[in-house]
Amino acid sequence: MACSLLSSITKAQQKLPVTDKSGEPINYGVSHLRSKTPLTLTPDQHTKSISPFNATPNDPLGTIVYLENATSVKITTDVRKDSLSYYRYSVFENDTTVLKSDARLSQVDFIWPDNSDFPGYLTMNLGISDVRNKKITIKIYRLPEESKVTTLIIFNKPLQTAQIKSVNLISKGRTLRYHVPDLNINIPIIRELNDVKPLKNGLKVHVNQKTRGIQLTMGKTDLDVVYHAILKKKSGGKNQIVFLSNNWTYQGNNDDLFNFIPASYFSDPGTYELIVSPVFSQSSNQSTAYSRKAILSFTVVSPPATLGISEIAIGLTIISLLGGIAFLLIRRSSRKKLAFANRKAELAHTQLEQVRSQLSPHFVFNALAGIQNLMNRNEIENANSYLSKFARLTRNILNGQQQIALKDEHKLLEDYLAMEKLRFNFNYGIQLNVEIDHMEVMIPSMLLQPFLENAIKHSMAIMGDQGTLQIEFKSVQHNLILSVSDNGKGFDVQKNHDGLGLSLCEKRIDLLNEVYQECPIYLEINSGTKGTTVTITLTNWL
């Protein structure tokens, strides 16, 4: 876990170019993706390197930009002209000097024309230029949402060497019981004390049930959040990171920072190395940054193996209890697995019944006849196109996959409707009101197809070119909604219908809800004289 965290941090801080191929400065969007106030930073030609995409820990709208040898920068934001008066921002230099406090945006950098991509917008300059050997902090928000502050830290100075002020091994100490006679308190006051032992370099220590952990104190730096307490264990000639944290705390008016490493991270015997260092990327200043670290080594030795009779008896009792509990848990788990397997088997059986309903011999015969008709009319290109669609459709139905990507489901429905249009010449349309990222979401395959088949059979086949089918995919918050509408004569949804298609769909959704209990699927059918609408809602699917 710690190794993956370190990897993610270093990847986020990789160095990027300052200018493009033509030598022009690159504009970097540097505000957090969740921020509604986009900030853009443009470095000057003196800047050696830039690392723009670094999240600030414990600040959901905070980012850090690392610069090397920059002289000046330009910070801008794009806002609507009619919203300009609602924005406020503050600027701090080196955490001590206030350059601006709740200032209004007043310096116009660019006016977007009406025929541009952003008509009605202004690019506003925040008036920040000189960043030589400085840490600049910008906080900006839009009224009345004062709590949603976007924070940008521009760090353009050398990192300080980490300074470990103290490392103490904390253990559970004595328990004090005392009375306060002056207050006539008869109940004893109980207070537990901690034993504090300085942890020095090369020290050998015992870790037992009383050991609480290591308390580490570091001197304050210009950018505390990049300094991490890293605990490595030496094993087999390799160093394994067992603890990594930049969760520093402050106490009172003291500028020192505190971090605590629970004993569970170094309870195993072996040699450990405690490092306080800025975590940085593989760049030109990597060696400089990583050299600004403080290191302390210690060894955890094995405790003497001595057990009394009472401890052995307690151990045997615990083992017996754990064995009984494990047996009950295993039996309960086996029952759950068996029930789950039965549900999956029933679901597979239902899907096979749907396959037979979807890919009926009648449909196959008519589809092939339509393709043959195109070939007889020498429309080879159209015949090949429909043959490809028919092949993809049949391959997807027969491959037995229970889930399919939303984009592939859209393509298969497109193929199916194109095949049926060849037979009945109706009209159809598919609307995608879903974000691009959501097109990769996996959903149960062919959820809408049986309802399309029902609409084509009972309405489109009769209406011909007067018939219209509309399919829509849309996302509402975390829900995915699929719907199909037709302009047919409708039917009574309260009555049973011929065939197995609709009943199989309802049964399949019931079974899916047993498998995906945290993300239930809801089916709604509304039918009237002007048409029918079928809506399937996949809750919490996005």
Give residues with Cβ within 8 angstroms of 52, minimum separation 6: 16, 28, 29, 30, 41, 63, 65
Average confidence (pLDDT) over 486-514: 75
% of residues, the chain, pLDDT over 90: 25
pLDDT at 77 (0 to 100): 94
Under DSSP, the state recorded for 236 is T
- Least-confidence region, from 95-109, 138-152, 160-174, 386-400: 386-400
> Alpha-carbon torsion 393, 395, 399, 405, what sign?
negative
CATH number of 164-301: 2.60.40
Numbered ranges of CATH 3.30.565.10 in the chain: 356-538
Question: Taking 60 as the threshold, does the pLDDT of residue 182 lie above it?
Answer: no
Q: Are 63 and 154 in contact (CB under 8 A)?
A: no
Average confidence (pLDDT) over 249-254: 73
Average confidence (pLDDT) over 359-375: 68
Band of the pLDDT at 21, cuts 50, 70, 90? confident
Numbered ranges of CATH 2.60.40 in the chain: 164-301
- How many alpha carbons lie under 13 Å from residue 491 in its C-beta half-sphere? 16
% of residues, the chain, pLDDT over 70: 82
CATH class (in words) of the domain with range 356-538:
alpha beta
Band of the pLDDT at 504, cuts 50, 70, 90? confident
* pTM assigned to the model: 0.47
Average confidence (pLDDT) over 250-269: 84
Question: Over the Cα atoms of the chain, what is R_g?
Answer: 34
pLDDT at 119 (0 to 100): 92
pLDDT at 353 (0 to 100): 56
The per-type count for the chain, helices as H runs and strands as E runs, is 9, 28
pLDDT at 110 (0 to 100): 93
pLDDT at 188 (0 to 100): 54
- Least-confidence region, from 55-64, 146-155, 181-190, 445-454: 181-190
Give residues with Cβ within 8 angstroms of 88, minimum separation 6: 102, 103, 104, 140, 141, 142, 143
- Least-confidence region, from 3-7, 115-119, 463-467: 3-7
